[in-house]
Amino acid sequence: MNKWRIHYDDGLIHSNNDGPIEYHHGVICIVQINGRNEREIQQRRDYYILTDVWIPCDVFGVLDHTMHKLNEIKAVVAGRTVSNPEFERIYREAKLTPL
């Protein structure tokens, strides 16, 4: 499985090493290693779907995956809007923390 880490609006961080995802809302960004072995940060989306990698999408993307690729979905989490200073603080932490 790909390495990833979720950063939530309340400061909680959950990674692929932490077991099942318990919180499915309040996501600010998701850091993962992409197929080119590069660090990638998914952000500012309504939803994120975990298949082999995290895919950012809107409600129609969730519906599309549910209708056509349900067997590939491992988790779905919802994004959260926060103030710009709060977003920047969490994003900076996500960007600087080793994966």
Which residue range(s) make up the domain with 61? 4-96
Structural domain count, the chain:
1
Lowest mean pLDDT among 34-43, 77-86, 87-96: 34-43
Question: With contact defined as beta carbons under 8 Å apart, do 53 and 42 qualify?
Answer: no
DSSP state at residue 71 = G
Tell me the C-alpha distance between 43 and 65, whole Å: 19
| Percentage of residues in the chain having pLDDT higher than 70 | 99
Does position 18 have pLDDT exceeding 90, yes or no?
A: yes
pLDDT at 1 over 70: no
78/64 Cα distance (integer angstroms) = 16
pTM of the model: 0.92
AA identity, residue 20: P
